[in-house]
Structure 1
Amino acid sequence: MKVDQKGHTVTIKDTQKDVNSFLEKVTQQFKTFEKHNIIIDLSSDSALTEKDLKLFLPLSKTHKKAKKSFVIVVSDLDFNAISDKLLVVPSLLEAHDIIEMEEIERDLGF
């Protein structure tokens, strides 16, 4: 697991390509990241399924209740099949753009 912080956003990258152990580590260290927007970078794992992504749903819900963004980056997946409760994008650039838009919405009171 590699963690990179830029401003109000933390990018957490899976380096082992094991979704379950990665999710466990992120969950254990969640208190460290809870005051930041989170980008979960799974773009290096090409064997991901929609079922794997759904494992992040409880963490995403908790983070969104705290009025922070939670975005998952996945490169090879059918984005139409993914639950609309998860925010999944194909690149880090798009993840940062989504977070910026959500920050503006929160600042405006939406």
Structure 2
Amino acid sequence: MKVDQKGHTVTIKDTQGDVNAFLEKVTQQFKTFEKHNIIIDLSSDKVSENDLKLFLPLSKVQKKAKKSFVIVATDLDFNAISDKLVVVPSLLEAHDIIEMEEIERDLGF
């Protein structure tokens, strides 16, 4: 697991290729990151829609705290993914989504 912090955003990248073990590590250390916007980078992993659903509880916690939670994953049918998760194909798009959500929160939406 590799953690990179820039401003109000923390990018957490899976380095082992095991989504379940990665989710467990992120969940254990979640209190460390909860005050930041979070990007979960699974772009180097082969993940399914079901794997992504495992991150839903963390996403809900972040939304309640008025923080962003974005997952980066490739080779997926993005239309089949739950509307409750924000999943994008690149880190650039993840940062763009967080920037837009920050603006929305500043405007009171």
The two structures have a TM-score, normalised by structure 1, of: 0.97
User: Which segments of 5 or more consecutive residues in structure 2 lack a partner in the other structure?
Assistant: none
After superposition, the C-alpha distances for 1:87-107 in whole angstroms (9 at most, x for unaligned) are 000000000000000000000
Cα-Cα RMSD: 0.4
- Between the aligned partners of 1:32 and 1:106, the Cα distance in structure 2 is 22
Secondary structure in 2 matching 1:80:
helix
- Between the aligned partners of 2:105 and 2:62, the Cα distance in structure 1 is 14
After superposition, the C-alpha distances for 1:56-100 in whole angstroms (9 at most, x for unaligned) are 000100111000000000011110110111000000000000000
User: Which segments of 5 or more consecutive residues in structure 1 lack a partner in the other structure?
Assistant: none
- Between the aligned partners of 1:98 and 1:49, the Cα distance in structure 2 is 22
**Structure 1 residue 38: deviation in Å?**
0.0
State the number of aligned residues. 108
**Structure 1 residue 24: deviation in Å?**
0.3
Give the match for residue 44 of structure 1: 44
Give me the identity figure in percent. Answer: 91
Runs of 4+ deviating beyond 6 Å? none
